[in-house]
């Protein structure tokens, strides 16, 4: 059977005659975006788009720009200007032809009827739900006038704040920071809620966060997945772990939760939450006592090993380690010794573990254990956490000069985030930095000048930030909140103006990963739908309006082309690292960086140039030179609540899509049967989970995947459900993060709750 | 030749990539999944709302397997039966069994929407699309296969847990009688379903904190 274009359209439109279909479109005002409007206009009537053969489609290169280890390389199939389907790029051995459940929902995301289509203004005030469609000109006029008003009244633009994080990690998306750079000195929500304590820990130990290529894990002889669940959150890494296992490697999962990855491992070891650092210290002591430590490597490459060993000898009692971690001593010994005997052996540390008040100290302790075993600087070895080794772009979109005569803040300078740390020339003034992890209270408390305008981009603070009751107060006291997003999410509900932004399929960009070593071009595959604009185009429009109102008030280019901006991000260093001569080669598929084993040359970027068991910097900043055992936060309620990432969403993205609702419709709280029995809660009961912060109502599932004393809920944003786990999380800091990312992380797994049957 | 899905539950992550890759390729409407990832040992399977009658898979009593919740899965689409009920019942020949590959194909341009196949299939493979008034189901991406590609589900699986085998090839003999764990009846259905399964198992060593 053959499918003609008419056939396809008749199937797509299912009986609606083409003429009336077009008429309908014209009436609804979407004709201007035709033919991209086909799918969205009839979202329920697009079943069975037939596959027409590779040659029938135009293909484009795309990347999944979400905050994810896997950062998939995508091939997009387009017909008549409409995205039909995507595939993972087969050129990348990492993506290997397939995205994940989230990536495969992209077509629905682009053409979702729920997408933000036009600039909107909440005329009834924040949270009123009284919205009115406005033009881009009106939106830009309101924002530009407010910015100029702030500058006139305050003498600075510090009253304008930007919160932007990981909604899109494409390199040109730093143009959003660039937009704020281009108007003057402003206020930034700095730091990262994600992984800062661990970044600091690795930088203290090794002078860098730099992990081995995950694809090497296939040749590891012993793998510990320590507090990481790649079976849900880095599914493309699992094939290497399986391959190692098949070749005889032991795969051990240490985790408070019996995770999806644990169910596929050789061994699962449940540990009491927040005691992982102590376990690592105990394991180090065991292999040193057994003489299995790599003395030669330690002599040549480390600083402070003697002091570290003295600490272990004096302070670490193995019986105590067993008691506190909850793991039998014989099992700890067996684990430590078999790890030390297998070479190469590697440990992958997850980001959840460092979201505790002692998180950084735990990562330092595990780093030290891997170092003692002699597995750092080795092929298929390493203390893996993440890397930014392939992120050496120009950050052209980010680097915008300040308008002449800009006045700013005279506070201390420091890191502002983990990715693009582009300094620029030293100026008399700086931006003002507020802790992103305490957004609510920092916005409320900021004085002289107070924050009056907040721009939210690539971020959904109401889903992801903490202390939400305060956050509502914080937003309400702002003169103007601008939210740039693709969907009407919870944050948009508390905005004054929402701006519809493009998906990655409607713009150019370039993407790399913080885990694997591939570089992917992101091409514009379809024309932007409706009235959506890229973040860069929005910045240009704002610049145009500001300069009309006051010449020279904004330095951002007044017209931008996302492709030209993307090209500007490349430099000879990137070309050299990836072995290409031009970015255009990426049209043929993603490329991988030349293989380097981190720290194989024994050169560490620490002050001593060595692996630092003893760090002066750590002593100065965090009060302990050595990786030592720190007790985790004391409970303030009955049960610990842990809120890990789920496979159904990437933070607040994807779960809201209609297709995702088909495979995962609603949230649950997972409770250990023992705890449930004590509270007379049965499977499927609706329970209230509550603490000093808030209360959630949802269905219970009983499982010993979670340990007694802990309840588990996933962090997600549902379109049709008010559930949000961050209702219960306060903003208590983790121990580290301020050194390299500008602010400490959040101890969000040190949240405590109670629950009862409803 | 009888093409069949071989589903390896021992490595399946339950990530639903296969089910979503199928939607990505064919754009099934909300509420319809041609491929579904089912949890082994669950008290009950999610009900397929769009099925007119309860089916074997969704109506049988709870499977007997005892597995931890939300950790072990099997992925199931059309079973491409050797003796397919859908082909037998379809009054207009919209369902056909490809004599060469053994794939059970459904052609929506012929389908009159009588719903016979939806009632007849013991596995709920044929779905009824109420908005279109027609049936639809997995046709093993025969168009993709004819074009030299593999199916959307097989290509997208991150760990290679779904493969397409020739059930009549002697080298796959060992899988001849493997039903999904806990659902012993499936393979003996009269329609002779062809999907085969490799069973998962718990890790060799599992340590959990003592109670209390």
**Subunit contact B27:A39, Cβ cutoff 8 A:** yes
A716: Cβ contacts below 8 Å, ≥ 6 apart: A646, A648, A649, A652, A655, A667, A723, A724, A725
Q: Which residue of A has its CA nearest to B147?
A: A53
- Kindly report the nearest CA distance between residue B139 and chain A, in angstroms: 11
Which A residues in the span 16-55 are in contact with B, Cβ-Cβ below 8 Å? 39, 44-54
Q: pLDDT band for position B16 (50/70/90)?
A: very high
- Confidence check: pLDDT of B184 > 60: no
CATH of the domain at A722: 2.40.40.20
Nearest to A518 by CA among A73, A216, A111, A197: A73
Out of A49, A104, A327, whose CB is closest to B17? A104
CA–CA separation, B78 vs A145, rounded Å?
Answer: 60
Q: Taking residues A1-30, what's their average pLDDT?
A: 35
Residue B189 has, within 13 A of its CA and on its CB side, a CA count of: 25
Q: Which residues of A touch B200 (CB under 8 A)?
A: 263
CA–CA separation, A431 vs A427, rounded Å?
Answer: 10
CATH of the domain at A71: 2.20.25.90
The residue range of the domain holding A557 is: 120-192+400-592
For A101-131, give one letter per residue: b (16+ CB within 10 A) or e. bbbbbbbbbbbbebbbbbbbbbeeebeeeeb
Note whether residue A634 is domain-resident: no
DSSP string, B54-111: --HHHHSPPP-----TTT-EEEE-----SS-HHHHH-SSS-EEE-TTT--EEE-TTT-
CA–CA separation, B62 vs B43, rounded Å?
Answer: 5
CA–CA separation, A706 vs A702, rounded Å?
Answer: 9
Pair (A433, A542) in one structural domain = yes
Note whether residue A301 is domain-resident: yes
**Subunit contact B72:A268, Cβ cutoff 8 A:** no
Residue A23: Cβ within 10 Å count: 12
Out of B30, B68, B143, whose CB is closest to A263? B68
Average pLDDT, chain A: 92
Nearest to A195 by CA among A165, A237, A164, A239: A165
Note whether residue A200 is domain-resident: no
For A500-521, give one letter per residue: b (16+ CB within 10 A) or e. bbbbbbbbbbbbbbbbbbbbbb
**Subunit contact A1:B31, Cβ cutoff 8 A:** no
Note whether residue A628 is domain-resident: no
- Establish whether the linkage from the previous residue to A533 is cis, with ω within 30° of 0: no
Average pLDDT, chain B: 86
CA–CA separation, A646 vs A654, rounded Å?
Answer: 11
- Confidence check: pLDDT of A9 > 50: no
Out of A49, A51, A100, whose CB is closest to B15? A100
Give burial (CB, 10 Å; 0-12/13-18/19+) of B2. middle
Out of B21, B203, B211, whose CB is closest to A262? B203
pLDDT of amino acid B50: 47
Q: Taking residues A493-522, what's their average pLDDT?
A: 98
CA–CA separation, A301 vs A298, rounded Å?
Answer: 5
Pair (A670, A610) in one structural domain = no
pLDDT of amino acid A385: 98
- Confidence check: pLDDT of B4 > 50: yes
Say what percent of chain A tops pLDDT 90. Answer: 89
Give burial (CB, 10 Å; 0-12/13-18/19+) of A139. buried
**Subunit contact B11:A266, Cβ cutoff 8 A:** no
- Confidence check: pLDDT of A560 > 50: yes
Q: pLDDT band for position B199 (50/70/90)?
A: confident
Q: Check if A96 contacts B (Cβ < 8 Å).
A: yes
The pLDDT tens digits for B64-120 are 667 899 999 989 899 999 999 999 999 999 999 999 999 999 999 999 999 999 988
**Subunit contact A48:B108, Cβ cutoff 8 A:** yes
Pair (A129, A248) in one structural domain = no
- Confidence check: pLDDT of B188 > 90: no
Tokens read off for B91:
């009054």
pLDDT of amino acid A735: 97
pLDDT of amino acid B123: 82
Note whether residue A561 is domain-resident: yes
pLDDT of amino acid A7: 38
Top pLDDT among A11 and A545 is at: A545
Top pLDDT among A467 and A521 is at: A521
The position carrying tokens 């209270």 is A441
Chain A interface test: which of B10, B17, B22 (most A C-beta within 10 Å):
B17
Nearest to A586 by CA among A26, A60, A42: A60
Q: pLDDT band for position B130 (50/70/90)?
A: confident
- Residue A218 is classified by DSSP as G
The pLDDT tens digits for A622-656 are 999 999 999 999 999 999 999 999 999 999 999 99
pLDDT of amino acid A10: 39
DSSP string, A128-163: S--EEE--HHHHHHHHHHHHHHHHHHHSSSTTEEEE
**Subunit contact B15:A263, Cβ cutoff 8 A:** no
Tokens read off for B109:
């341009």
Note whether residue A197 is domain-resident: no
Give burial (CB, 10 Å; 0-12/13-18/19+) of A73. buried
**Subunit contact B209:A272, Cβ cutoff 8 A:** yes
Tokens read off for A554:
């904004």
Pair (A289, A372) in one structural domain = yes
Cβ(A256)–Cβ(B37) under 8 Å? Answer: no
**Subunit contact A85:B108, Cβ cutoff 8 A:** no
Pair (A724, A669) in one structural domain = yes
pLDDT of amino acid A542: 98
Pair (A552, A606) in one structural domain = no
- Residue A173 is classified by DSSP as G
pLDDT of amino acid B74: 87
- Confidence check: pLDDT of A5 > 80: no
- Where in A299-407 does DSSP place strands (E)? 302-303, 345-349, 383-384
Note whether residue A630 is domain-resident: no
Q: Which residue of A has its CA nearest to B202?
A: A263
CA–CA separation, A510 vs A523, rounded Å?
Answer: 8
Which A residues in the span 60-89 are in contact with B, Cβ-Cβ below 8 Å? 85-88
pLDDT of amino acid A704: 95
Q: Taking residues A248-267, what's their average pLDDT?
A: 98
Pair (A128, A104) in one structural domain = no
- Confidence check: pLDDT of A37 > 70: no
Chain B interface test: which of A14, A104, A217 (most B C-beta within 10 Å):
A104
- Confidence check: pLDDT of A29 > 90: no
pLDDT of amino acid A18: 31
pLDDT of amino acid A208: 97
Rg (CA), chain A: 26
CA–CA separation, A149 vs A546, rounded Å?
Answer: 11
Q: Which residues of A touch B206 (CB under 8 A)?
A: 258, 267-268
Q: Check if A711 contacts B (Cβ < 8 Å).
A: no
pLDDT of amino acid A360: 98
Q: pLDDT band for position B53 (50/70/90)?
A: very low
Pair (A449, A557) in one structural domain = yes
Q: pLDDT band for position A31 (50/70/90)?
A: very low
Tokens read off for A706:
């979670």
Chain A interface test: which of B41, B136, B209 (most A C-beta within 10 Å):
B209
Q: pLDDT band for position A414 (50/70/90)?
A: low
CATH of the domain at A182: 3.40.50.740
pLDDT of amino acid A30: 36
Could you tell me the CA-to-CA distances from B129 to A152, B18, B34, B108, B140 in Å, in that order? 61, 21, 11, 11, 19
- Confidence check: pLDDT of A555 > 70: yes
Rounded to two decimals, the ipTM of the complex is 0.94
Chain A interface test: which of B23, B48, B108, B150 (most A C-beta within 10 Å):
B23
- Confidence check: pLDDT of A275 > 80: yes
The pLDDT tens digits for A109-130 are 999 988 999 999 999 999 999 9
Chain B interface test: which of A662, A666, A683, A684 (most B C-beta within 10 Å):
A662
The pLDDT tens digits for A665-717 are 999 999 999 999 999 999 999 999 999 999 999 999 999 999 999 999 999 99
The pLDDT tens digits for A580-635 are 999 999 999 999 999 999 999 999 999 999 999 999 999 999 999 999 999 999 99
Q: Which residues of B touch A39 (CB under 8 A)?
A: 27
CA–CA separation, B185 vs B192, rounded Å?
Answer: 11
CA–CA separation, A551 vs A573, rounded Å?
Answer: 37
**Subunit contact A707:B147, Cβ cutoff 8 A:** no
- Kindly report the nearest CA distance between residue A235 and chain B, in angstroms: 6
Pair (A367, A220) in one structural domain = yes
**Subunit contact B208:A270, Cβ cutoff 8 A:** yes
Give burial (CB, 10 Å; 0-12/13-18/19+) of B185. exposed
pLDDT of amino acid A25: 35
Please state the domain extents for chain B.
Answer: 3-84+139-198
Pair (A157, A75) in one structural domain = no
Domain B3-84+139-198 in this protein, CATH class = alpha beta
CA–CA separation, A479 vs A452, rounded Å?
Answer: 5
Cα B70–chain centre separation: 18
Pair (A229, A276) in one structural domain = yes
**Subunit contact B17:A99, Cβ cutoff 8 A:** yes
Chain A interface test: which of B10, B203, B211, B212 (most A C-beta within 10 Å):
B203
DSSP string, chain B: --EEEEEETTT-----HHHHHHHHHH-PPTT--SSEEEETT-SSPPP-TT-SS--HHHHSPPP-----TTT-EEEE-----SS-HHHHH-SSS-EEE-TTT--EEE-TTT-----HHHHH-TT--SEEETTTTEEE---TTHHHHHTT---HHHHH-TT--EEEEETTSGGGGGGTT-PPTT-TTGGGSTT----EEE-----SEEE-PPP-
Which A residues in the span 673-702 are in contact with B, Cβ-Cβ below 8 Å? 674, 683, 701-702
Cα A136–chain centre separation: 30
Note whether residue A201 is domain-resident: no
Q: Which residues of A touch B24 (CB under 8 A)?
A: 85-86, 104-107
Pair (A166, A313) in one structural domain = no
pLDDT of amino acid B131: 84
Q: How many domains does chain A have?
A: 4
CA–CA separation, A525 vs A527, rounded Å?
Answer: 7
Q: pLDDT band for position B45 (50/70/90)?
A: very low
Distance between first and last Cα of chain A:
57
Say what percent of chain A tops pLDDT 70. Answer: 92
CATH of the domain at A336: 3.40.228.10
Which A residues in the span 222-241 are in contact with B, Cβ-Cβ below 8 Å? 231-232, 235-236, 238-239
């Amino acid at each position: 059977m053959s499918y003609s274009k008419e056939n396809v359209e008749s199937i797509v439109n299912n009986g609606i005659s083409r003429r009336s279909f077009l008429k309908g479109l014209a009436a609804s005002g979407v004709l201007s975006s035709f033919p991209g409007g086909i799918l969205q206009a009839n979202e329920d009537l697009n079943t069975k788009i037939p596959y027409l053969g590779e040659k029938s489609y135009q293909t484009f290169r795309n990347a999944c720009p979400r905050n994810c280890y896997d950062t998939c390389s995508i091939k997009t199939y387009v017909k008549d200007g409409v995205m039909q389907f995507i595939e993972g790029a087969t050129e990348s051995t990492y993506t290997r032809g397939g995205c994940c459940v989230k990536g495969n929902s992209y077509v629905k995301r682009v053409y979702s009827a729920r997408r933000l289509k036009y600039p909107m203004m909440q005329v009834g005030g924040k949270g009123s739900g009284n919205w009115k469609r406005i033009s881009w000109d009106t939106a830009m006029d309101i924002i530009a006038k407010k910015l100029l008003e702030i500058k006139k009244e305050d003498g600075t633009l510090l009253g304008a704040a930007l919160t932007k994080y990981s909604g899109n990690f494409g390199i040109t998306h730093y143009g959003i920071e660039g937009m704020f750079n281009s108007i003057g000195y402003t206020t930034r929500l700095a730091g990262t809620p994600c992984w800062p304590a661990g970044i600091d820990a690795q930088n203290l130990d090794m002078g860098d966060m730099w992990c081995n290529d995950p694809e090497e894990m296939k040749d590891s002889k012993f793998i510990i997945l320590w507090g990481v669940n790649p079976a849900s959150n880095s599914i493309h890494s699992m094939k290497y772990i399986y391959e190692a296992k098949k070749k005889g490697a032991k795969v051990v999962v240490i985790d408070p939760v019996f995770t999806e990855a644990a169910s596929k491992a050789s061994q699962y070891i449940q540990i009491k939450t927040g005691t992982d650092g102590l376990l690592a210290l105990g394991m180090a002591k065991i292999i040193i006592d057994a003489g299995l430590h790599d003395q030669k490597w330690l002599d040549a490459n480390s600083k402070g090993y003697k002091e570290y060993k003295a600490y272990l000898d004096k302070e670490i009692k193995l019986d105590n380690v067993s008691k506190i971690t909850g793991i039998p001593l014989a099992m700890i010994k067996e684990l430590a010794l078999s790890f030390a005997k297998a070479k190469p052996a590697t440990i992958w540390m997850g980001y959840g573990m460092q979201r505790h008040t002692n998180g950084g100290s735990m990562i330092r302790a595990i780093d030290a254990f891997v170092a003692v075993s002699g597995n750092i600087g080795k092929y298929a070895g390493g203390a893996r956490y993440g890397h930014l080794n392939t992120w050496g772009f120009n950050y052209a979109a980010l680097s915008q000069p300040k308008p002449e005569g800009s006045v700013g803040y005279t506070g201390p300078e420091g890191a502002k985030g983990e990715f693009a740390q582009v300094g620029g020339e030293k100026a008399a003034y700086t931006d003002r930095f507020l802790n992103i992890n305490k957004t609510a209270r920092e916005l409320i408390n900021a004085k002289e000048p107070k924050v009056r305008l907040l721009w939210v981009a690539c971020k959904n603070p109401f889903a992801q930030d903490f202390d939400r009751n305060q956050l509502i107060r914080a937003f309400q006291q702002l003169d103007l909140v601008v939210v740039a997003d693709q969907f009407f999410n919870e944050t948009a509900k508390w905005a004054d103006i929402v701006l519809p932004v493009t998906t990655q399929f409607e713009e150019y960009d370039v993407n790399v990963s913080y885990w694997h070593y591939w570089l992917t071009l992101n091409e514009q595959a379809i024309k932007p739908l409706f009235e959506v604009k890229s973040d860069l185009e929005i910045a240009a429009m704002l610049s145009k309006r500001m300069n009309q109102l006051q010449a020279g008030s904004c330095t951002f280019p007044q017209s931008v082309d996302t492709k030209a901006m993307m090209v500007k991000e490349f430099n000879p260093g990137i070309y050299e690292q990836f072995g290409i001569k031009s970015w255009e080669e990426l049209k043929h598929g993603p490329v991988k960086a030349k293989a380097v084993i981190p720290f194989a040359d024994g050169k560490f970027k620490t002050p001593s140039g060595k692996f630092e068991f003893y760090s002066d910097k750590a002593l100065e900043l965090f009060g302990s030179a050595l990786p030592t055992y720190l007790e985790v936060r004391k409970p303030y309620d009955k049960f610990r609540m842990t809120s890990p990432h789920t496979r159904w969403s990437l933070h607040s993205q994807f779960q809201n899509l209609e297709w995702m609702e088909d495979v995962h419709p609603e949230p649950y709280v997972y409770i250990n049967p023992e705890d449930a029995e004590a509270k007379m809660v049965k499977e499927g009961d609706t329970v209230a989970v509550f603490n000093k912060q808030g209360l959630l109502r949802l269905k219970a599932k009983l499982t010993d995947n979670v340990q007694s004393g802990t309840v588990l809920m996933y962090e997600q944003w549902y379109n049709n459900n008010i559930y949000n786990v961050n209702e219960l999380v306060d903003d208590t800091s983790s121990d580290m993060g301020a050194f390299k990312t500008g602010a400490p992380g959040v101890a969000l797994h040190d949240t405590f709750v109670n629950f009862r049957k409803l | 030749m009888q093409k069949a899905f071989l589903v390896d539950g021992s490595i399946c992550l339950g990530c639903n990539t296969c089910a979503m890759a199928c939607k990505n390729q064919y754009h099934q409407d909300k509420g319809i999944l041609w491929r579904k990832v089912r949890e082994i040992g669950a008290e009950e399977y999610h009900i397929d709302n769009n099925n007119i009658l309860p089916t074997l898979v969704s109506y049988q009593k709870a499977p007997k397997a005892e597995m931890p919740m939300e950790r072990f899965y099997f992925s199931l689409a059309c079973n491409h039966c050797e003796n397919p009920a859908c082909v037998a019942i379809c009054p207009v020949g919209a369902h056909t069994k490809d004599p060469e590959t053994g794939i059970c194909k459904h052609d929506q341009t012929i389908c009159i929407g009588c719903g016979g196949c939806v009632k007849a299939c013991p596995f709920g493979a044929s779905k009824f699309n109420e908005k279109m008034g027609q049936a639809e189901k997995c046709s093993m991406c025969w168009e993709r296969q004819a074009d030299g590609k593999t199916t959307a589900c097989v290509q997208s699986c991150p760990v290679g847990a779904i493969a397409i085998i020739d059930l009549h090839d002697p080298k796959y003999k060992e899988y001849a009688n493997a039903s999904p764990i806990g659902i012993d009846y499936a393979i003996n259905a009269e329609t002779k379903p062809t999907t085969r399964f490799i069973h998962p198992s718990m890790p060799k060593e599992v340590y959990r904190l003592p109670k209390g």
